[in-house]
Chain A
Amino acid sequence: NAGVTQTPKFRVLKTGQSMTLLCAQDMNHEYMYWYRQDPGMGLRLIHYSVGEGTTAKGEVPDGYNVSRLKKQNFLLGLESAAPSQTSVYFCASSRWTGPREQYFGPGTRLTVT
């Protein structure tokens, strides 16, 4: 049982390049989330999904797109990377009932130069 996994773990992009971060979970969770973590700011929600085929905006969605074609996968895309998107990105998943405790992946460190 791997929990929540993220690919890749590190990436360096040049301004204007695009990339996709992949999140996978094997806990059969309905909900999945993408956060970014910046120094001194805690974690902020980018987008989330309450089920296969559905996505919604979080707190800081601009510059990102997401897709949830399969229940176990949640993709985060950057179409035209900017230096302001340099951050550590975390994926998380949870059940749809109860406290919906979120279980996090190991994170992806992205640097945009």
Chain B
Amino acid sequence: AQTVTQSQPEMSVQEAETVTLSCTYDTSESDYYLFWYKQPPSRQMILVIRQEAYKQQNATENRFSVNFQKAAKSFSLKISDSQLGDAAMYFCAYRTVSNFGNEKLTFGTGTRLTIIP
């Protein structure tokens, strides 16, 4: 079974600085998808960024980028120029490529990010 581990329960960063959130996962599959979701105090889960395992290029979405290390099974999220609105719980998630019987997203336990003004 796949597992996702976020070893940093809490992180903090000064506004305008850069922060990296860690995520590792365990799988025997060679093809899969990885996601970062953001959950602000409003509770809404918002997709931040997605990475396909077969792509070597790291995904980037504006100030958000990932460092995907497939051999190490590591998928970290880098937030550049941190803003107050980035304060949230961040969840790493894994999904298999298989189309049958494996529909769930496996989530990590989350990292709470605080932005210091």
A residues near B (Cβ < 8 Å) are 31, 33, 40-45, 48, 50, 56, 58-59, 88, 90, 92, 99-104, 106-107
Contacts and interface: CB of A to CB of B under 8 A. Distances in A.
Given A90-B45, A106-B43, A106-B44, A42 B52 contact: no
B103 A42 contact: no
Contacts of B50: 99, 101
Contact of A56 (B45, B47, B103, B110): B103
Query: How extensive is the interface on chain B, given as a class?
Result: 20 to 34
Contact of B95 (A56, A58, A100, A106): A100
A104 to B, nearest CB: 4
B104 A59 contact: yes
- Main secondary structure, interface of A, reads strand
A88 B43 contact: yes
A42 B43 contact: no
Interface in B14-73: 33, 35, 37, 42-47, 50, 52
B91 interface: yes
B107 interface: yes
B56 to A, nearest CB: 17
8 contacts: A40-B109, A42-B108, A45-B103, A50-B103, A88-B43, A90-B45, A99-B95, A106-B42
Contacts of B44: 104, 106-107
Interface string B69-93: 0000000000000000000000100
A40 B33 CA distance: 23
